[in-house]
Amino acid sequence: MKITPWILLFSMLPLLSGCKSELYSKLDEKEANQMMALLIYNKIPADKRMEKDGVTLLVDQDRFVDAVEVLRQNGLPRPQTVTMQELFPSGQLVTSPEQEEAKLNYLKSQQIEKMLSSMDGVINAEVSVAEPRAIVGEAPPLASAAVFIKYSPDVNLPAREAEIRALINNGIPGLAPDRISVTLQRAEYRYQPPGAVAAEDHKIILYGYPLPLEALIAAACTLLFGLLISLTLCYAAPGGARHDTRQAASVSGLAPAWAHHRSRMVGSAGATLLAVDLP
């Protein structure tokens, strides 16, 4: 049986499809589309597969690390939040007041985290709210909030620290502004798209001026191309190199005759002349 190239190609398709690795699973379709678009924008091939429990995101095996880092730099996927129904299910047993208060504080923290994560440039936001219970006969304790935000280097988030503090202060009733601590950390990029290298790495100093390496390569290619065209035209002319040899010989034969004629002209004048050699 003769194996045609088409049969061989179709037999290799399952192998090619097996080169994909699962990046994330159980994603909702909106977030999966955002992640997929972000990967494709950064020149990382990605695909998705619909499952019963959500969407699975697929990438090439050799780009798995790059895909994870690109999504991390943009705070994707977003951490899952707990809903009110999950914290307070309808069929649960009676809990203590301390447990109820802890759950409420947790919900407040999640709401603030969700609002902060919606700001441009925020990769990750974590909020911890502490509201101690008041004891009878004692002064009520002061509530406090600690906020940690990791942001993208492309955004100047420290310039908006006052807005962040105001958002937290208004989101938690009874919280004094001086009881809010905000920590902003600038994230580091551990991945750069292909070709996104610093411009200084592609500069060459020529006569004191920095020149891009691409410009030098283009100039060299242009010079080489022009040289090849010149050689091609030279040898493609009628007679080729032999024609040039005969022409050179005829010119060299005329040189002695021209020199003898010029000496006769100078001698017949009977005077001293300034002879300028002609090329």
What are the DSSP calls for 34-67, one per residue? HHHHHHHHTT--EEEEEETTEEEEEEEGGGHHHH
Query: What is the per-residue pLDDT across 222-231, written as a single tens digit (0 to 9) for each?
Result: 877 777 777 7
**Domain end position, chosen among 154, 186, 218:** 186
One domain, residues 110 and 171: yes
Would 248 be classed as within a structural domain? no
Q: Is the pLDDT of residue 270 over 50?
A: no
pLDDT-derived band of residue 252, with 50, 70 and 90 as boundaries? very low
Same domain, 182 and 103: yes
pLDDT bin (cut points 50, 70, 90) of residue 275 is very low
CATH number at residue 174: 3.30.300.30
pLDDT for the residue 214:
53
| 127 and 162 co-located in one domain | yes
Estimate to the nearest angstrom the gap between the alpha carbon of 201 and the chain centroid. 16
Minimum mean pLDDT among 40-44, 109-113, 218-222: which range? 218-222
pLDDT of residue 267: 46
Phi, psi of 196 (to 5 degrees): -90, 65
Tell me whether residue 87 is in a domain: no
Q: What is the mean pLDDT of residues 95-123?
A: 86
pLDDT tens digits, 134-188: 777 777 788 899 999 999 888 899 999 999 999 999 988 888 999 999 999 998 8
Q: CA 134 from chain center: how many Å? A: 52
Average confidence (pLDDT) over 73-99:
74
67 and 104 housed in the same domain: no
pLDDT score, position 148: 96
Indicate if 181 and 217 belong to the same structural domain.
no
Domain ranges, residue 117? 96-133+140-186
> What confidence tens digit (pLDDT) does each residue in 158-172 have?
999 999 999 999 988
What is the residue whose two structure tokens read 């994870």? 68
Dist. CA 141–CA 129, nearest whole Å: 13
Q: Which of 123, 197, 116, 115 is nearest to 153 (CA)?
A: 123
Give the pLDDT of residue 94: 63
Question: Do the domain assignments include residue 222?
Answer: yes
Tokens of 4: 């045609």
Residues 100 and 182 reside in one and the same domain: yes
pLDDT score of 206:
42
Q: State how many domains the chain has.
A: 3
Task: For residue 258, tell me if it sits in a domain.
Answer: no
State the pLDDT at residue 166: 94
Q: Name the range with the highest mean pLDDT among 15-19, 176-180, 267-271.
A: 176-180
Residue 176 lies in a domain: yes
In a domain, 257, yes or no: no
DSSP state of 202: G
